[in-house]
Amino acid sequence: MANDGLLIILSGPSGCGKGTIVSRILKEREDTILSVSVTTRAPRPGEIDGFHYRFITAEEFDNMVQRNDLLEYAQYSGNCYGTPRTAVEEHIKAGRNVILEIDVQGALQVMQRCDDYVSVFLTVPSMEELEKRLRGRGTEEESRVQARLTAAKEELEYVDRYQYRVLNDDLDEAVEQIHRIIETEKSRKNPQ
C-alpha cells in the first residue's frame, strides 16, 4: 500500500509568485498535484476551466458550502474561493502530495480542521517588488491592484502561523527550498 501523501498549504500575498513556483514544482515532481479550487471570479485570459480553477456561479458556490463539499473557503478581494474536499482526500490516500494554493483565511481553517499538514508562507523582498510583480503580470485593473496590495499587508501579519517561510527572491532558490521541505516532511511522515 502507498504511504499517504502530504497536505501542503501554500499561502502568500497575491503576486508573490505562488502560481509560478507551483507550476515548476508540478513539472519537476510526479508525486505532487495541485488541488483545483472553485471560484466565483471570472477567468483571466489563458486560464482554463477545470485546470487553473473550476469557475462557478455564486449560487453553485453557496450550494457547495451548504452540502459541506468544501474543506475550506474564503472571500478574497470580492470573490469566493474554496477547496473541494473529496478530491484532496482521495489523492492523499493514493500517496500523492496535494498542494493547496490558498489565502490566509482558508489556511487557518485547514490548520484547525486537519491534524497533519505542512504549511508554507511565501514572501517577497519588499512591498515595492510585490507591486512591481502584480503590475508586471498585467492581469488586474488598477483598483484591483490596490485591493490586492491592501490584502497583502494584512496577510503578511500571519506569517508566524506557518511552519515554513520561503522568500521568493531568486526563483530557482525558492523552488529548491520547496523541494527540500517536501523531502524533509515526507521522511518525517513515513520514516524508513
List own/partner pairs for 48-55 with CB under 8 A and 24 or more apart: 54/84
Across 135-159, b (16+ Cβ under 10 Å) vs e yields: eeeeebeeeebebbbebbeebbeee
Count Cα neighbours of 166 within 13 Å in the Cβ-side half-sphere. Answer: 28
103 binds ligand 5GP (CB under 6 A): yes
The one of ligand 5GP, ligand ADP, none whose footprint includes residue 97, by CB under 5 to 8 A per kind, is none
Instruction: Record the cell numbers describing residue 8, joined without a space.
Output: 501542503
Nearer residue to ligand 5GP within complex by CB, 113 or 189: 113
Of 61-80, which residues contact ligand 5GP (CB under 6 A)? 72-74, 76
Instruction: Record the cell numbers describing residue 72, joined without a space.
Output: 475550506
Of 7, 11, 14, 152, the one binding ligand ADP (CB under 6 A) is 14
Nearer residue to ligand ADP within complex by CB, 47 or 69: 47
Nearer residue to ligand 5GP within complex by CB, 103 or 185: 103
Of 152-181, which residues contact ligand 5GP (CB under 6 A)? none
106 binds ligand 5GP (CB under 6 A): yes
Nearer residue to ligand 5GP within complex by CB, 105 or 186: 105
Residue with C-alpha cell 490586492?
148
First-to-last CA distance in the chain? 14
Positions that interact with ligand 5GP (CB under 6 A): 14, 18, 37, 41, 72-74, 76, 81-83, 101-103, 105-106
